[in-house]
């Protein structure tokens, strides 16, 4: 791939702002900060051992990405997950992920697919749900990088994080990611073969499968009788 199209290498040193952003987003995604929790800059500075400026810049970025809500004169809160917006999240991923797969099938190189294969080799029985989810993310990240479009990568990274948050909120206790990871074996074969159509089709089905699981879990939760 052309260097001009390749996003910055993940191994490059992070700025303090990027470090704060990554830590805070992970905490929100994993529900260390649950929807509705108040975020106070002074407490975050103490807990993350980072200064005021990187914390503030990270929170501003998280607000733009709808992880944080700022209410004037009241403070900052972790944004709730609006069930009515689930369809928008997944319809966007269903369009962009297959597009990234098409580009990756054309622009990716053997090193990309060797890395994905190595990640998948560490999955299977005995691997935890969280570890399978981590491998699923790695596979997506490799594909995004191989697409050679940093704008697409940035957008999909944010959308995946929102989906990851949904998994922790609705599916972590009831659903496994093993089947989802197995699907990456077929996706990998199509990507390695340079088959853009098949890669896109498989990735679309992969995203839709996750969407179906989340919708089912949300529906079950909404229909469950109130605790007595």
- pLDDT of res. 4: 39
CA–CA dist 204, 101 (Å, integer): 9
On average, the pLDDT of the chain sits at 88
Over residues 68-96, the pLDDT tens digits come to: 998 887 889 999 887 778 889 999 999 99
- pLDDT above 90 for 102: yes
CA–CA dist 203, 184 (Å, integer): 8
pLDDT tier, 224 (very low <50, low <70, confident <90, very high otherwise): low
| DSSP 8-state secondary structure symbol assigned to residue 12 | S
Could you tell me the sign of the dihedral formed by the alpha carbons of 228, 35, 141, 116, in that order?
Answer: negative
- pLDDT of res. 223: 64
CA–CA dist 18, 151 (Å, integer): 17
- pLDDT of res. 185: 95
- pLDDT of res. 164: 92
CA–CA dist 222, 209 (Å, integer): 20
Query: Domains of the chain (ranges plus CATH)?
Result: 16-78 (1.10.10.10), 83-223 (1.20.120.530)
| DSSP 8-state secondary structure symbol assigned to residue 168 | I
- pLDDT of res. 222: 57
- pLDDT of res. 10: 47
* CA-atom Rg of the chain in angstroms: 18
- pLDDT of res. 2: 40
Over residues 114-160, the pLDDT tens digits come to: 999 999 998 877 778 888 889 999 999 999 999 999 999 999 999 99
pLDDT tier, 21 (very low <50, low <70, confident <90, very high otherwise): very high
- pLDDT of res. 51: 94
């Amino acid at each position: 791939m052309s260097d001009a199209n390749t996003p910055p290498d993940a191994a490059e040193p992070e700025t303090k702002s990027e470090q704060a952003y990554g830590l805070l987003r992970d905490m929100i995604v994993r529900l260390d900060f649950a929807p509705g929790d108040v975020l106070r800059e002074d407490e975050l500075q103490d807990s993350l051992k980072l200064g005021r400026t990187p914390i503030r810049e990270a929170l501003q970025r998280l607000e733009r990405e709808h992880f944080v809500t700022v209410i004037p004169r009241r403070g900052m809160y972790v944004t709730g997950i609006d069930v009515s917006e689930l369809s928008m999240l997944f319809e966007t991923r269903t369009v962009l992920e297959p597009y990234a797969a098409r580009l990756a099938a054309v622009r990716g190189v053997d090193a990309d697919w060797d890395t994905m294969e190595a990640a998948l080799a560490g999955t299977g029985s005995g691997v935890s749900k969280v570890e399978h989810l981590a491998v699923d993310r790695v596979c997506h990240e490799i594909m995004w990088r191989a697409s050679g479009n940093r704008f697409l990568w940035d957008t999909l990274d944010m959308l995946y994080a929102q989906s990851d948050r949904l998994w922790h909120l609705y599916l972590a206790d009831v659903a496994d990611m093993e089947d989802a990871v197995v699907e990456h074996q077929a996706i990998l074969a199509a990507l390695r073969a340079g088959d853009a159509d098949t890669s896109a089709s498989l990735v679309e089905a992969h995203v839709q499968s996750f969407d179906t699981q989340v919708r089912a879990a949300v529906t079950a939760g909404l229909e469950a009788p109130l605790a007595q």
